[in-house]
Amino acid sequence: MDWLNYVVFSLMGLGILFTVIRFIAGPKLSDRVVSLDTFNMIVIGVIAVLALVFDSALYLDIAIVYAVLAFLETVVFARYLEGKNNDNR
């Protein structure tokens, strides 16, 4: 059944690849923030699956902390965007 792990990881890796392309190409700053938010959520999923593959519960604690930090990061970037209402951004 190990080959199924490769399927799961390649699906998630393709998702990460698409968000990274949008992060690089994003025409506006807010597009980059959106892609960063999606990227963080996918990384939480990857960490949870790694916990299953390596059979170690520590990775779940990492995933919890990462989820909290990702939420903080999103809110902080949103606050930053609100302050910057220029037309050329």
CB of 39 to other proteins, least distance (A): 8
Q: CB neighbours of 27 closer than 8 A, spacing ≥ 6?
A: none
CB of 65 to other proteins, least distance (A): 10
The token pair that represents 51 in the structure block: 């916990």
- Site mask for other proteins (CB under 8 A), range 47-86, x = bound: -xx-xx--x-x--xx-xx--xx--x--xx-xxxxxx-xxx
Half-sphere exposure of 10 (CA within 13 A, CB side): 5
Touching other proteins, residues 6-35 (CB under 8 A):
7-9, 11-12, 14-19, 21-22, 28-31, 33-35
